[in-house]
Structure 1
Amino acid sequence: PWLCAFVSVVSRQFSQKEFLLILFLLSCHATKPNLLNVHLVPHTHDDVGWLKTVDQYYYGDRNDIQHAGVQYILDSVVDQLLKNPDRRFIYVETAFFYRWWKRQSADVRRTVRRLVDEGRLEFVNGGWCMSDEATTHYSAVIDQMTMGLRFLNDTFGPCGRPRVAWHIDPFGHAREHASMFAQMGYDGFFFGRLDYQDRSRRRIAREQELLWRASDSLTPPMADLFTGILPNGYNPPEGFCWDQSCDDPPIRDDPDLEDYNVDDVVKRFLAIANTQAKVYKTNHIIMTMGSDFQYENANLWYKNLDKLIRYVNGRQANGSRVHALYSTPSCYLQELHRANLTWALKTDDFFPYADDAHDLWTGYFTSRPALKRYERISNGNLQTCNQLEVLGGPISRNGPFGKGDSQTMKKAMAVAQHHDAVSGTEKQHVADDYARRLAGGWLRCQVLVSNSLAALSGSTAERIYCDKLNVSVCPLTESSSKFSVNVYNPLARPVSWPVRLPVNGTSYKVSDAEGRSVDCQVCVCVRNRGFAVNELVFQARAPPLGFTTYSVSLLRDGPPAASTRRRTPTAIQNKVRPPLCLCVLVLQFLRVTFDPDTGLLSGLSNLETKQTIKLTQNFYWYNASDGNNSKSDQPSGAYIFRPNSSTPFVISRTAKTETVQTSVLQEVRQWFSPWVSQVVRLHGDSRALELEWTVGPLPIDDDLGKEVITRLDSSIQTAEYFYTDSNGREILQRKKDFRPTWILRQSEPVAGNYYPINSRAFIKDEVDQLTVVTDRSQGGSSIQNGSLEIMLHRRLLYDDVRGVAEPLNETSALFPEGLVVRGRLLLSLDRPPTAADAHRPLAQQAVLQPTLTFTDGEPRPNTRGRWSPCLQFSGLQAALPPAVHLLTLTQWDEDSVLLRLEHQFQSRESKENSRPVTVNLQKLFSTLEILGASELNLSANQWKDEMKRFHWTPQTGM
């Protein structure tokens, strides 16, 4: 081909960067500067699971649910691209493409590589999936993007590198995602969904293409990202869908036939193009020609698009000012950049999303809370697996316990980031499949972790994993009189972590790695779904990026388990108020008070800073709309949160309580109803108050769904402001009934004020800041001044008509009457200037919790007959500074590892920890010798010094 011949000439005269730019320009069709250029972008949107599982979508199975088969789409598109060199196609989901590529012959692979090199097949976005933006943690997003982009890099080289981020389907857009995309080297970002009020205003102002300044901390333009809002979501214009799933008539261009329709098609297309041009700034507009799982028979689309382009452009001879062409998002973006205009600037995010006055997509912030928690646990397990694969060396992949691997877990976690996965908006059997994949990945990682710990400790004793400790189930600790607990800490700083183990004895001795006795306590178990009657509690202290080992022995003649004191609140028992000691928890750093009349939390004090606030906490539910009311027929569902009243129903105004008070642990156990309970817990050296809630099964006897919240009401003067994180990283300010970029007409006073909380939220005034750290992604808000509410659980009886076609009514074999969910909130009270120094490390610790493994009996000799010499290990020479977080440590190839260090504080967030920090990589690890280092971009698919991005100019004064 002429292009290949030209390449052989220019490649000798230009640098690689210049050559790739020339190649890119050649792959784009010529536009006409004096006409309206309509960029037609053939595409398919292939959900990595939604109504069907990933496997079912790929193979085209279960077409009784939805007709979709991704393998046939790729087969058909490649075939059709070869028939006309003018044709273009973009592909997004690397998880599917990777699977298809593995099954292709050498000839097909050569053909596809040529199509990619010539720009006829272009990859956009390029992550393993198109991730959700509300319920994903930034570390997991970076991992899944890295996996997809690495495959494209390794397979196609620089020509396979996506230049455009493409999130056409997620239900709202996070600022941190835009920041990450900018740092990954993308030139622009396109999406399809935004609030209907925001879109209306932007159309009038011609601001549907803008510059998104996505970080307060990074110097512009480091986190600036050109952002375009697509005109039809991601669908074709009305009347121009030519897939086998569509009903629009084809172009009938035989003038001898009675139903000849070329004139009508061209007239309608020109009208649509000219109307669209009025709400965009340049003489270039984009039209997405495709939709969900389309192009399975690509001939239908391309035959009609060929005709459309030919007949539309043929009208130019008669004075038409419209020029249609096959294009891609990169080619379109190139033309916008050439226009050299200034663009409106945005600094907030695109949450919450509504597509009508009463249709707020804020329910999915909490939907499927158990899956959301399992995904978060799995993220921590994957980081442990990755780290130990590096620290343990090659033996970790093939050692005494067999062959282990991290790839299975990486793929499972990557798939779980999809916008219909961790979001909770999939069918039940698909949610089960995501969980099954995560469980299977962890089993493969367990072998790797056991091999690595054996190499690092010198002990080949069998390691037991107790993955059901949240319900106090661990057969080894329940039955053994002597066992060891290995605590691996994936953070690059030492941690103190409460270990709670189900046991049947009443007294135990716990010793640390140096043989010193550790304070411990046995309490009556309240979380039991197994056979244990008690829980052993002690505080473990683990070194940075390392492990420590604790020995546990049953004492036959020891003291009994800690006693509990039960009481019924005087408000419902009408008896004399109990002694004050039953209503106060006090340990080293915190003091917690309870109202003796109700048994509810009433106050919180920080003993270090001498702060005290009034603080009450209770549980409520919103009745879900069933769609039968005068305002709207929209019901609550997996996506939509729509309570039928702005005032929630209190579950109980009092709580029956049981108190445990020891030097190691203090608890108030609260029972609000048969389906809501909580343990308010203080650990000895903790600066955070733990609220361990258990909710479910939600009763549905009244035929109404329930959306359960917990609400914290404080004496803090918030003035309607509150703060939530963006994907677990930077913090954004929120204000009730307010949007920074348009005047809001609030029609849903509760749902319209809900925002995603991925790891933490807080309220503050000049004196006090109350921070809540969550253990999963949840929705929340501050509806009343001084309050913070977080949605915990949802059970709904109606579908919300957004495609999933089933109500969010989770049951299982274990919970046939409805799902029971347990979770944990951590509360901290600090002064606003220093609060971040406490809550950021606390949030990281909630995401990357220690991994516990168990061995039966005394430490055993290794295979050479020697006693294990290493009960404690750290992979670092010293802990990293508080401002620095070790985000990634994973094996890249045989001779190199991928290391990501991040400054985890925003600018001006902390007086001490927002400052720049220097880290000496040569002195970082204790067991690894660093021979050299090369810096890459955030997604590790470009060298940092070669990353060049388009420069965009914001409008004056912005």
Structure 2
Amino acid sequence: MNLRSGIFYLSEAMGIAQHHDAVSGTEKQHVANDYAQRLSDGIDRSVEVINAAYSKLLPKEGQTPLSIPQFLCPYTNISECLPIEGQAKNGQDFRTLFVQGFPGDPTTPELPASGAYVFRPFVSEAVPVSLSGSINCTKTDTVQKASIVFNEWVSQEFSLFRGATSVELEWTVGPIPIHDNIGKEIIIRYNTNINSGSKYYTDANGREVLERIRDHRPTWPYLVDERISGNYYPINSRIWIRDHDRQLTVLTDRSEGGGSMYDGSIEIMVHRRILHDDSMGVGEALNETAYGKGLVVSGKHILLVERPEDSARLHRVDGQQLFMHPLATYSLPNTPSYANYSNIYRQSWSALSDTMPLNVHLLTFDQLASKQYLVRVEHYFELNEDDMYSQPVTMDLQTLFKSIGTIADMTELVLNANLPLSQLHRLDWMTKDQESSHVNMFRKLNFIDKDLE
């Protein structure tokens, strides 16, 4: 049975949430609430599909499916999961700062307030969220942790796991206080002695990485009129600084904004609460609340320090793992023990019959009909960023999908999968070097029509 219709509601909600105002947060509050409601409804419908899959994949041969369904816990970021509450349980320098948002001045309308569209600090120097804090350190055989509480609305936890090449920072910010009538924009700043020379690097949609130079634009003479926000860029998944010997890479678990205001430094904005509208069209201050208080936001940064020539194989793989982390589901099975549960149900399963190359990601595996699948694979290393993993890769799709059936035919499509590549006709033109823009793209790869055995 094809359950694609069951995830249509979530697919539709995700399509709506790709609107530029939804991505950037420049919608009105009631529109943001509608986005959240649509996504929540779509997730609820998708849980039905998840349970239908579990009923086929979990039971070992001869065993019956689970009678108790699995469920999601949307509040695990605040360590809350109501259905399982009360169940038995088995056992470099950084700174968090805030900048004061510019409140605006009616006499200078060309300088709007800091708001949904505009990031404009009132002063250029950030202020610590607290001058003191409490630290609790824990060391076990598998992990070392340092938990830091700065005040009642900012805390962080650093984790170094045994054998790991990275440090995890989990941060929690909010509700941002506004009793002083000052809007605040919270940043985390990582300071090093890396001689970065005004250069830093941010990614575009988790893939291509672009070089940034402080107070500079590569294609026109740049007049510095916004010293801070003029050097902030979108960070979809990573930002780094480097010199000849070392590279500090910070991976983010969501799209954030940031830059390098000083040599050897990276700063990333993680939360905002602004009390004035920037007069750019929203007509509301960026002061979102829940349960009568400002929002509490939790997130994660992964910190990597390595030689520049070795960094790509770490941040590419770790970034992929951070973005594609497992989706946890929960249930209250009526089995007396884990040993009994593991005798009845599988503990692992994969549709792939073989491991994929480290530098290749299975981006899409979508069943369109009973014998028809849409497959997208991507080589996610950039050209020349790693001696080994930036090289071309040859894959055998039949070997990968052997458990599903025999490939009878395949047709390569354009990336959005609505046209065979052989039917694509692009505009050709001559470059300034009198070379044709035409590229021969006729290959076979992406669309699979299978006869299932």
Same fold (TM over 0.5): yes
Greater fraction helix: 1
Measured in 2, the distance between the counterparts of 1:686 and 1:926 equals 34
Determine whether 1:616 maps to 2:93. yes
Residue of structure 2 in register with 1:471 after alignment: 78
Give the 3-state SS of the residue equivalent to 2:309 in structure 1.
coil
Residue 944 of structure 1 and its aligned partner are, at CA, apart by 1.0
- Aligned equivalents of 1:794 and 1:620: distance in 2? 12
* Aligned residue in 2 for 1:656: 134
The CA deviation at 1:765 is 0.8
1:928–1:710: structure 2 CA closer, same or farther, 3 Å change rule?
A: same
- Give the aligned partner of residue 799 of structure 1: 277
Q: Is the 8 A contact 1:905 1:913 kept in 2?
A: yes
Q: Distance in 2 between matches of 1:740 and 1:882?
A: 34
Distance 1:950 1:396 in 2: 39
The question of whether the paired residues in 1 share the 8 Å contact of 2:3 and 2:49 is answered with yes
* Contact 1:779 1:791 (8 Å CA) reproduced: yes
Q: Report the AA paired with residue 72 of structure 2.
A: Y
Structure 1: distance between partners of 2:343 and 2:386: 47
Matches within 5 A, 1:15-54: none
The aligned residue for residue 825 of structure 1 is 301
Quote the Cα distance in structure 2 between the aligned partners of 1:427 and 1:476. 33
Alignment match, 2:344: 868
Q: Does 1:743 align with 2:221?
A: yes
Task: Kindly report which structure 2 residues correspond to 1:834-845, keeping only aligned pairs within 5 A, or say none.
Answer: 834-845=310-321
Q: CA offsets, 1:110-134, max 9 Å, x none?
A: xxxxxxxxxxxxxxxxxxxxxxxxx
State the partner residue of 1:411.
12
Is 2:419 aligned against 1:918? no
Picking from 24, 31, 34, the partner of 1:423 is: 24
**Other structure's SS at 1:954 match:** coil
- Give me the whole-angstrom Cα distance separating, in 2, the residues matched to 1:448 and 1:804: 37
Distance, in Å, in 2 between the alignment partners of 1:873 and 1:926 is 14
Which AA in structure 2 matches 1:419?
Answer: H
Report what 1:897 is aligned to.
373
What residue ranges of structure 2 are gaps of 5+ in the alignment?
60-64, 337-341, 436-453
Q: Counterparts of 1:358-369 in structure 2 under 5 Å?
A: none
| Partner in structure 2 of residue 125 of structure 1 | none
Assess if the C-alpha contact under 8 Å between 2:2 and 2:370 holds in 1. no
* 8 Å Cα contact 1:937/1:943 also seen in 2: yes
Give runs of aligned pairs for residues 777-816 of structure 1, distance below 5 A: 777-813=255-291, 816=292
| Separation in structure 1 between the aligned mates of residue 186 and residue 366 of structure 2, nearest angstrom | 39
Q: Which SS does the other structure have where 2:328 is aligned?
A: strand
Residue 953 of structure 1 aligns with which residue? Answer: 430
Structure 1 SS opposite 2:20 = coil
1: CA distance, partners of 2:153 / 2:272: 13
Q: Name the structure 2 match of 1:680.
A: 158
Confirm or deny that 1:698 pairs with 2:299: no
Q: Please give the per-residue CA displacement for 1:126-178, whole angstroms capped at 9, x wherever unaligned.
A: xxxxxxxxxxxxxxxxxxxxxxxxxxxxxxxxxxxxxxxxxxxxxxxxxxxxx
1:469 is matched by which residue type in structure 2?
Answer: T
Per the alignment, residue 444 of structure 2 pairs with none
User: Residue 421 of structure 1: SS of its match in structure 2?
Assistant: helix
Alignment-derived partner of residue 450 in structure 2: none
2:250 counterpart (769, 772, 782): 772
**Closer, same or farther: CA 454–701 of 1 in aligned 2, 3 Å:** same
Distance 1:762 1:665 in 2: 25
Could you say which residue in structure 1 is the equivalent of 2:330?
Answer: 854
Tell me, yes or no, if structure 1 residue 453 matches structure 2 residue 54. yes
Query: What CA deviation, in whole Å up to 9, does each residue of 1:609-658 have, x standing for no partner?
Result: xxxxxx21011111111112886541011010000111111222433101
Number of the residue aligned with 1:943: 420
1:878 to 343, 347, 354: 354
For residues 527-567 of structure 1, what are the alpha-carbon distances to aligned partners after superposition, in whole Å with 9 as ceiling and x for unaligned? xxxxxxxxxxxxxxxxxxxxxxxxxxxxxxxxxxxxxxxxx
Identity across the alignment (%): 40
Q: CA deviation at 1:685?
A: 4.0
1:907 paired with 2:357, answer no
Letter in 2 for 1:472: S
Hey, what does 2:442 align to over in structure 1?
none
| Cα 1:935–1:871 shift into 2, 3 Å | same
The equivalent of 1:931 in structure 2 is 408
Distance 2:290 2:434 in 1: 57
In structure 2, C-alpha distance between the alignment counterparts of 1:788 and 1:678, rounded to whole Å: 17
Contact 2:2 2:367 in 1 (8 A): no
- What is the distance in 1 between the residues matched to 2:87 and 2:2? 30
Q: Which amino acid aligns with 1:616?
A: D
Which residue in 1 is equivalent to 2:38?
437
Q: Deviations over 1:667-702 (max 9, x none)?
A: 111011221111111233432211111111111123
Structure 1 unaligned spans of 5+: 1-393, 398-403, 482-504, 509-521, 523-614, 861-865
Equivalent residue, structure 1, for 2:205: 727
Shift of 1:869: 5.0
Query: In 1, are the aligned partners of 2:47 and 2:71 still within 8 Å (CA)?
Result: no
SS at match of 1:855: coil
Change (3 A) 1:725 1:450: same
| SS in structure 2 of the partner of residue 405 of structure 1 | helix
Aligned to 1:491: none
Amino acid at match of 1:871: Q
Q: How far, CA to CA, are the matches of 1:476 and 1:435 in structure 2?
A: 22
Q: Could you tell me how far apart the structure 2 residues matched to 1:858 and 1:395 are?
A: 29
1:691 partner SS? strand
Aligned to 1:224: none
Give, in angstroms, the shift of residue 452 of structure 1. 0.5
Shift of 1:772: 0.6
Give the aligned residue type for 1:937: V
Corresponding residue SS for 1:829: strand
Q: Is the 8 A contact 1:395 1:452 kept in 2?
A: no
What is the distance in 2 between the residues matched to 1:680 and 1:936?
44
Give the 3 Å change call, closer, same or farther, for CA 937–623 of structure 1 in structure 2.
Answer: same
Q: 1:566 maps to which residue?
A: none
Q: Which residue of 2 aligns with 1:708?
A: 186
What SS does structure 2 have at the residue aligned with 1:845?
helix
Q: What is the deviation of 1:768?
A: 0.7
Separation in structure 2 between the aligned mates of residue 857 and residue 411 of structure 1, nearest angstrom: 33
SS state of the match for residue 844, structure 1? helix
Partner letter of residue 412 of structure 1? A
> Counterpart of 2:182 in 1: which secondary structure?
coil
SS in 2 for 1:454: helix
Letter in 2 for 1:460: L
Matches within 5 A, 1:65-76: none
Maintained 8 Å contact 1:859/1:868: no
Q: Within 5 Å, which residues of 2 pair with 1:616-655?
A: 616-628=93-105, 632-655=110-133
2:361/2:377 contact within 8 Å kept = yes
Q: CA deviation at 1:876?
A: 0.9
1:204 corresponds to which residue?
none
Matches within 5 A, 1:301-312: none
The Cα of 1:476 is off from its aligned counterpart by: 4.6
